[in-house]
Amino acid sequence: MHDIICPHCHKAFKVDEAGYADILKQVRDSEFDKQLHERLELAEQDKRNAIELARNQVAAELQKTAAAKDAEIQSLQAKLDAGEVQRKLAVTEALSAVEKERDTLVNELARAKQENQSASNLAEMRLNKELQEAAAKKDAAIQELKARLEANEVAKKLAVTEAVGAVELERDKLRSSLERAELEKQLAEKSLKDKYETQIKDRDDAIERLRDMKARLSTKMVGETLEQHCETEFNRIRSTAFPRAYFEKDNDARSGSKGDYIFKDMDESGTEIVSIMFEMKNESDTTATKKKNEDFLKELDKDRATKGCEYAVLVSLLEPDSELYNTGIVDVFHRYPKMYVVRPQFFLPIITILRNAAMNSLEYKSELALVKAQNVDITNFENELDSFKTAFARNYDLASRRFKTAIDEIDKSIDHLQKTKDALLGTDRNLRLANDKAQDVTIKKLTRRNPTMAAMFEDLDK
């Protein structure tokens, strides 16, 4: 397991080896171009530094060697100059000695001539002999000095030749090393250039293939490709990382809209740990009207609330050049609560992060579920009591309204009967008055003011 620090909340969460490897691979993929350019620049800089360092080293070595040889030549020249001085000094001393001896001999000869004229010949011969011997000695000394001088000259030339030969040999070695280093550098540059050109070509070919493939896909197929990718990635680790999780397409469109996928994870007791509403958005590179992530956030928040999910996540390939969305997991809490926008490579990490964060509140959820389970009878009793009260109130209201209706009908009937009674009483009174009037009728009253009828009744009486 590896610890990862969230750049937003600064909380540490653990990711298994598979998830960590996926994150590393995805980060490498997302920054391959940047690293490639950086490495090419570093390689070019290393090459320039290596050439400059080699040049400086060669120059320093040559300067050091030349200084040493100059010092040696100066030493040899000093020795040679000292030998020349010694030679000249020896010749001068020899000549001085000879001249001194010659002067002595001349003086002696003159004295001898003065002392004894007769010994002049012997003295002259003796002088000549000594002069010859002195001249021979002088010539031998001169020859010896010349031989020494020539030997010194030869030794000096030999030393200079050896020094120059050593310098030239060292120079040739350095030149050969420099040429070999330059050749190795060129080979390394060519190899590195070929390697990166091959990688760039392969990457360009892959990008071109993907572009061709995406250009051939319809908009629906492009979106379904991203959904299939996410579903495949989840199913690949479902059995090991999320054995009790639910991750299926959202097919409930009764509210007028629906998300793409719903993720829910439960613990062993069936208590919900976390729930996430997912929306996957992708589009072809050749699409004329480019969508933005902002265009889908409001509908996603509505789907999350409708389906009762705790979080909402938009997995998007839109706005591919956005530095904000390319950095990783982006929260949009300032617009909609508990909502994130991620690239596909962060699909599994965002599930892991939210699930691990929800594990901290699982204990409280479990305690809440336990309290609800313990109070279920009271809750049911209260619900049934409320239902009884509601039903009783409804029945009472219905009965009350019907009773009032019956009273009103009775009142109406009573009023109608009263009117009928009054009508009957009025009829009885009228009948009684009619009877009274009938009883009061006499022939005399009928024939009053009717002489014809009076005459007829009188005839009948007669």
Q: Are residues 336 and 277 in the same domain?
A: yes
Q: Are residues 261 and 358 in the same domain?
A: yes
Q: Are residues 307 and 436 in the same domain?
A: no
Inside any domain, residue 272: yes
Q: Are residues 311 and 407 in the same domain?
A: no
Inside any domain, residue 342: yes
Number of compact structural domains in the chain: 2
What is the pLDDT at residue 190? 81
Q: Are residues 415 and 366 in the same domain?
A: no
What is the pLDDT at residue 218? 37
Inside any domain, residue 316: yes
Q: Are residues 323 and 361 in the same domain?
A: yes
Q: Are residues 284 and 403 in the same domain?
A: no
Q: Are residues 272 and 346 in the same domain?
A: yes
Inside any domain, residue 174: no
Structural domain including 412 reads: 399-461
Q: Are residues 240 and 365 in the same domain?
A: yes
Q: Are residues 254 and 340 in the same domain?
A: yes
Q: Are residues 258 and 340 in the same domain?
A: yes
Inside any domain, residue 358: yes
Q: What does the H/E/C string look like for the chain?
A: CEEEECCCCCCEEEECHHHHHHHHHHHHHHCHHHHHHHHHHHHHHHHHHHHHHHHHHHHHHHHHHHHHHHHHHHHHHHHHHHHHHHHHHHHHHHHHHHHHHHHHHHHHHHHHHHHCHHHHHHHHHHHHHHHHHHHHHHHHHHHHHHHHHHHHHHHHHHHHHHHHHHHHHHHHHHHHHHHHHHHHHHHHHHHHHHHHHHHHHHHHHHHHHHHHHHHHCCHHHHHHHHHHHHHHHHHHHHHHHCCCEEEEECCCCCCCCCCCEEEEEECCCCCEEEEEEEEEECCCCCCCCCCCHHHHHHHHHHHHHHHCCCEEEEEECCCCCCHHHHCCCEECCCCCCCEEEECHHHHHHHHHHHHHHHHCCHHHHHHHHHHHHHCHHHHHHHHHHHHHHHHHHHHHHHHHHHHHHHHHHHHHHHHHHHHHHHHHHHHHHHHHHHHHHHHCCCHHHHCCCCHHHHHHHHHHHC
What is the pLDDT at residue 431? 74
What is the pLDDT at residue 143? 76
Inside any domain, residue 9: no
Q: What is the mean pLDDT of each run of 10 residues along the chain (462 residues)?
A: 66 68 65 68 78 77 77 75 70 67 70 64 66 70 69 68 72 77 79 77 72 47 72 92 91 81 89 92 67 92 92 93 89 93 93 88 70 65 73 76 79 79 76 73 67 71 66
Q: Are residues 449 and 340 in the same domain?
A: no
